[in-house]
Chains A and B, each alone.
Chain A
């Protein structure tokens, strides 16, 4: 048993060395090399496809354009470092093979999602990433909190995935194609009255995946995953899929007000609100997670902005965010790994003990805070230019200033408070620096974020390619305003406000905590909890109603529902003219059999003993067998006869054995009226159904065919048997397989019961 209070991602005792699984990094590295080759040497789109399920119009079509290429660069590039890092982080941990295997599956699914050119194909990969995320968040499944977080991530993202499926099917219906490139090339479908519904459903899928309001709550809880997973899935790649999907469809919808303005509003709101929520946290990883949600919100807002500048800003910020957030997660992982805690109150002044990690944190934080000469700075300037290009609501402008200020403070917490701030109140445990596999990835990735800021031309081909895939965009070099004094002023102002907030962090935290605690019952998390508690409660209430725990009542309900459905179908769908009801059977034999059947049925109303009832119903069965015999259907009659005999024998023996002496008592308090009504309704329903079926003009072609060909083609005079064993032999094979399967399922249960009653009774 594991202690309930322990964190699922707790990491003790720290192990040294590197797992051999780190070699798995060659897979993302190969992908990254291919991406670089296409972006810098090949310079063009690359499409290929083959028929997958041509019967339903699904083809495995892939198209690697600039946007896909940028996403692939993140998947492969960040992925390589994540695999190496995980090799150090997971060293000596149980079941690390499962983690690496799932990560590889995830990577393949991600690559498939961003390159698929067919909606259905993309959905398959999309859902695979949700499943991989579920498995990775719940990696430490022995902890309840990890299981709950995994379930939450799955419910939210897979629920969105279902919306996306509905939206994709609707899109395919109204546009007549599932090919994404065809959808974007010919945008007449956008004018269809159903297009907003379809795109709302698609957007729901994207917004849940990218943790936008009101689905923002799952991402911080997904931090229960091991840190390499958080860095990879929940910051650099998977959560950006929603942004990717919106950017993918934006070229078709960008000129629609309802589309672009709702994206701007939702993105800006998410960006600001989640940054406020970051102020409430004490856990380093959760602080970073909220700032990731905020960055995703900024990206969604940028996609909604019109003009030629925003696509470049989206591309630049996608890259910049991955290059500073992944190292910061690595840093949080190192801190956790080496001190055993991520609570920012229990750690401080770690820099002398962990100099490499501290250096990586500083580099990454500089980019996050938007310091000059970093890629974060370039991205921020591009965002500013994108907003200047178009009219945005005033509150959007103010909120992004707020976001920048809090980002500076968060960067300060991650890089400065943890590593350089000295406080005497905190007593540190024994600390060591992380091993090389955990030391180099954060440092290299963060350094890359600075290098690309110094030489933006290096990344420009890839970023321009991605921006052009969205819409005709201004080249990054042109959009980038030159450094001047006014810029220094705004940077200094943002920096100063951020530093002020950083110094006041604890006080602001307490205030935010008080306010949010009061608002807790209204939060999305609380509603999610209510939903999750409501589903089993509703299921239990329904089950109590329809299954009161007595077999006869349940059966009565089933019969009543069946009768109601049948009656409804016959009366509403195919009303029967009563004149067509055949009143008298033909011939003496059928008349006698029918009279017998009727008499036995009426007699069956009288006795209360179950045994007598069973015998009478058996007689009714035999009478109907006789009816079939005279209706020139000897095979049906024989079958009816043999089944009836076996059933009556077994059932009567069991009734005698189980009800001896108690039958009369059990029957006394019963109300017979409801049963009579249900029985009558069932009878009428079946009679009407039969009348409706026989009233239809019969198609004798099949019967005639079988009658004609039975002897020449199948050498059999008995047409019924010929159909069973020859014309429809495969059907019969399925039926006997069902018989055998039923026996396979039931026999062990019955034999177990047999043994138990033997043991208890001690007889026979």
Chain B
């Protein structure tokens, strides 16, 4: 099978060019609203994964893998580390690990919850997005 067979229809490819940034922005929006409305790190991460899958379908696995910041594995592990770190500040206040802290920054409510959810988002996007992208690149073995 040559590359021409796997080429996506022009229409889809052009649509994807527009859609992928929109989907990614939507995923971040889902991540941010998650605490008070449907959404959150996992759902946001999965939406980002579908953006990566769309890139994989239209422009190939390599482009999709390149599209993941830092690379799939590093992104996923970074996510786990961020989530792990989100529980640490509580230790300085004497509370048990993973007790979330809340505060205000320039009039906006911020908390370690968001940091934790960001970790979930990154771990899901990197791990599952990487697997989807790499799977999309598989071909049959040449005999």
Contact = CB atoms under 8 A, between A and B. Distances in A.
Interface stretch (A205-213, A305-313, A460-468, A653-661): A653-661
Given A635-B38, A718-B38, A721-B39, A756 B141 contact: yes
B105 interface: no
A740 B53 contact: no
Given A757-B142, A761-B1, A729 B127 contact: no
Contact of A657 (B2, B60, B140): B140
Given A653-B57, A743-B127, A715 B34 contact: no
Contact of B36 (A654, A717, A739, A760): A717
A343 to B, nearest CB: 57
Contacts of A742: 127, 131
A717 B43 contact: no
**B50, B111, B139, B140, most chain A CB atoms within 10 A:** B139
Nearest to A730: B98
Contact of A740 (B49, B77, B142): B77
Contacts of A658: 140
A639 B142 CA distance: 37
B135 to A, nearest CB: 5
Max chain B CB contacts within 10 Å: which of A643, A736, A746?
A736
A754 interface: yes
Interface in B1-59: 1-3, 6, 30, 34-43, 46-47, 49-50, 53-54, 56-57
A409 B49 CA distance: 82
Interface string A643-672: 101100110011001100000000000000
Contacts of B56: 650
Scoring A635, A717, A733, A746 by chain B CB atoms within 10 A of each residue's CB, the highest score goes to A733
Contacts of B50: 642, 645-646, 649
A47 to B, nearest CB: 39
Nearest to A753: B138
A635 B40 CA distance: 9
Interface string A712-748: 0011111011101110011011001101101110110
A475 interface: no
B40 A736 contact: no
A223 to B, nearest CB: 51
B74 to A, nearest CB: 10
A634 interface: yes
A747 B40 contact: no
Contacts of B60: 764
Interface in B94-121: 97-98, 100, 102, 109, 111, 113, 116-117, 119-120
Interface string B71-99: 01100110110011011000000000110
A714 B72 contact: no
Contacts, number: 176
Nearest to A762: B142
Q: Size band of the A side of the interface? A: 35 or more
Contact of A646 (B41, B46, B111): B46
B42 A743 contact: no
Contact of A764 (B3, B53, B119, B130): B3
B69 interface: no
Given A650-B136, A732-B120, A757-B140, A725 B127 contact: no
A763 B83 CA distance: 40
A744 B124 CA distance: 13
Contact of B120 (A649, A725, A764): A725
B73 A747 contact: yes
A639 B47 CA distance: 9
A391 B139 CA distance: 83
Contacts of A757: 138-142
B84 A733 contact: yes
A638 interface: yes
A676 interface: no
Interface string A41-61: 000000000000000000000
B53 to A, nearest CB: 5
A716 B131 CA distance: 32
B3 A726 contact: no
Contact of B6 (A638, A649, A756, A764): A764
B124 A736 contact: yes
B124 A754 contact: no
B130 A726 contact: no
B8 to A, nearest CB: 10
3 closest Cβ pairs, A-B complex: A760-B142, A642-B46, A743-B127
Given A657-B139, A724-B41, A729-B86, 11 more contacts: A635-B40, A716-B36, A717-B37, A718-B37, A724-B42, A725-B113, A729-B87, A739-B128, A743-B128, A743-B131, A757-B142
26 contacts: A635-B38, A638-B39, A639-B46, A642-B43, A646-B49, A646-B128, A649-B50, A649-B53, A653-B136, A654-B136, A715-B102, A717-B37, A724-B41, A725-B34, A740-B79, A740-B126, A742-B127, A743-B73, A743-B128, A746-B131, A750-B135, A754-B61, A754-B137, A756-B141, A764-B6, A764-B60
